[in-house]
Amino acid sequence: MSETGWRPWLPEAIAALMVLAIGFTEAVLFWAMTGGHLAGFAQALVIAVAVGMCRRAPGAALGLVWTLGLIHVLFGAPIMLIEFALTAVFFGGARWGRLPTVVISALSVPLAVVVAFVVHERRIISLHLLLGGSKLGDIMREQPTLRLALSLIGLLIVATPWPTGLVMRFLERASTSRVAMLAAEEAAAGAWRETEHAREIAHLRDQQTRLARDVHDVVGHSLAVILAQAESGQYLDEPAKLKKTLQTIATSARSSLQDVRQVLSSTQDTTMVRGDTDRFDSLIAGVRGSGHEIVATELGTPRQLPPEAAAVAYRVFQEMLTNAIKHGRRDHPIVAERHWPAAQPAGGFTDTLRIEVTNMTESSDHAGAGRGLDGMRRRLEAIGGHLDVRRREQPAGISFSVTAFVPVRGGA
């Protein structure tokens, strides 16, 4: 047997060897009294084995106890004092046994007392040897009350280990339950920490996505305007027009740098604080200054948008114009329309601002259908709006229209 195999049995093996040594000593006395009767050695061996099994196999140990009891009853085998060691089996049954073993061990306690002190009180061979020829032995034989008192003391000695084992069993279960409860609480706390960590990561990723969209919109629009100005500037011969073109490039670059700083310094887009209409008009002026013809119309009464809707409207309009500059034909104007919510007869307003930008393109595969359109669509969906993209075949080419529907509920 390996080291890990025999070590768990070591305490029980030592106890069994001690019981066996004492039992064999008592069996020698029995052998001397009976003139060579060897039953005491067999009984001592059975008791030692039962004690050795009381922890690891309490059910089997209890079976040996019942077998020994039947031998006493059926064959009148004398009782040895070493059989008090069987109280370890009663303790083991209550401490480590399964429920049937616990119940049977509880019934075994009074049964053992009845067998030892009532049925065979004269067959406890060591007591007979010590007290048989003395006055105390005569008194015990003549006084039933004394025998009953001794039986009760024996019952107390035999019965005490069983409730002790049961109490220790419940204490261990309570301790195990507490450990399990603490482990469950720790697991729940760990799960909560992991959830919070996942939420924090998701929040950071969302902020990263927003930042990427903002930088894409700001830089993309400014670079498109600057590129258009630079391309047209190389064909200008008049110093005044060239100077104006360079001023437009500088203004666009300065505005872009300011917007990028604003995006990087705050998690909230506050581009619309200075007024919706002015900011829209500045974008249109930038496109017009880049040399692109733009036809801008505004219908309805302009309103102050809620901050979040205002930021989304500005960024979406900026991206629309950027795509129109990058992918539109320069021989056709960009058409930009803003339709503000109209007043209703019963009072109040409709709840949607419609922004539409149309340009002519030579290809049916508009390059803006990539990240730019996806970014606009995500921005609008985040505030309850939506984006509509249409392509139309016309005699002059392909018309590409992008329409944003921006909710304005909550605006002043």
Split the chain (412 residues) into runs of 10 and give each run's mean pLDDT.
60 88 86 74 89 90 87 75 86 89 84 63 47 48 62 73 89 88 84 76 73 71 72 71 75 72 58 57 81 87 84 88 84 90 56 90 58 82 90 85 85 50
pLDDT at 2: 46
What are the respective helix, strand and coil percentages of the chain, to the nearest 5?
A: 70, 10, 20
pLDDT at 263: 65
- Are 165 and 92 a contacting pair, CB within 8 Å? yes
DSSP 56-116: T-HHHHHHHHHHHHHHHHHH-PPBPGGGGGGHHHHHHHHHHS-HHHHHHHHHHHHHHHHII
pLDDT at 406: 92
pLDDT at 26: 84
List the chain domain ranges. Answer: 3-159, 199-407
Fold type of domain 199-407: Heat Shock Protein 90 (3.30.565)
- Are 58 and 96 a contacting pair, CB within 8 Å? yes
